[in-house]
Amino acid sequence: MVAVTPAAVLAAVPKLALADLERLAKAVDQAIQDKRAPPALVGPGPACPHCRTADPWRWGSAGGTRRWRCRGCRKTFTEFTGTPLAFAKRRPQLLAAAADMLADKPRSCRKLARALGVHRMTVWRWRLRMLRAVEEIGETATGLAEADETFFRESRKGSREWALFFKGEGPDPPRPRWRDFDRKKKKLPRGLSRWQIPVLTLRDRTGATYARRLPNLKLPAFAAVLDAAMASDAVLCTDGGAVYRRWARQRKRVVEQVNTRRGIRVRDGVYHIQNANAFHSRFKAFMAPFCGPATRHLPLYVGWMVLRDRLRADETGGQPLLERFLRHGRQADLTRQKLPDLVSPIPVQLSLPLTTP
């Protein structure tokens, strides 16, 4: 058998006809895919995801991925069948978007879309689909667990209620726009209001974090998070909030409180909530470039931050976000569904001029 050198192949390429060049290009692409394929895909095929029958037939390729046909149910499948990547048309770009979400400074959807050569809404849908896989992420707090809440402004980004209001086609929005408080010198309501969305964070001294958005500041909302996040022998350390004392009395648990209003940051050299406050500081800095995402998506961003903070303390390598996304299974694309019209729960006459926002 005569050995063919790469130099001889490259020298013969210009002499080939167009049809031969196309055949050669397909053969080269297939050879590259075979070389890059994991050993498990080159050797015996995986079990059928439909009926779990082993040893399938090879059945060509689809979208650059090895395809198989089951010997039992006769259905064809790939390694992505049954995963969110099953019908993805731009898998390399999606993988790049997942890597960017765990970077030191994730790019905005517009900047990332320009870098990947896709539409910004495509990147936005990818991001929300991956974030739904980490929405319920969290670790049980053990030992001495710190609890504290932080607040984010209510956001209705993406809603059409303001556009309809200025056209005279919709009801009065329940509050002025946040920018009107600066531009039109409106007074902000003092203290907390229903326009401040609470997020409760539990963090123990080992770095285990559990954070959830609260529907309100009442005891049942706090109890649902504390009961789910705290180990049975954990000691709770909080600020002077009365809701924590009521929870401790009902559950017969131990709670140590620090009176931060009087400037007491550490009590007895042990009890403080500085780890939880440090997490809140990092969370606010992380959220700042997104300019207030819609409140309905806030739980997704909470899970995103918890995952990022866990990786910050434990560099495990790999792509944990993508792994959770693939294990999440195929889900309906909720970003394409029409949202119901938002109606003001308490109509307020704003007396604003009917000009474009």
**Could you give all domains of the chain from N- to C-terminal order, each with its CATH number?**
18-78 (no CATH), 144-303 (3.30.420)
- Has residue 7 got a pLDDT over 80? no
pLDDT of 283 over the 90 cut: yes
In DSSP terms, 237 is beta-bridged to 146, 256
Residue 341 has pLDDT above 50, yes or no: no
Residue 314 pLDDT > 80: no
pLDDT at 272 over 70: yes
- Give the predicted TM-score (pTM) of the model: 0.70
76: phi then psi, degrees, rounded to nearest 5:
-95, 155
pLDDT tens per residue across span 131-190: 888 888 889 999 999 999 999 988 888 787 877 888 888 788 878 777 888 787 777 777
> 299 pLDDT exceeds 60?
yes
Q: How many residues would you count in the chain?
A: 357
pLDDT at position 344 is 36
d(CA 192, CA 197): 9
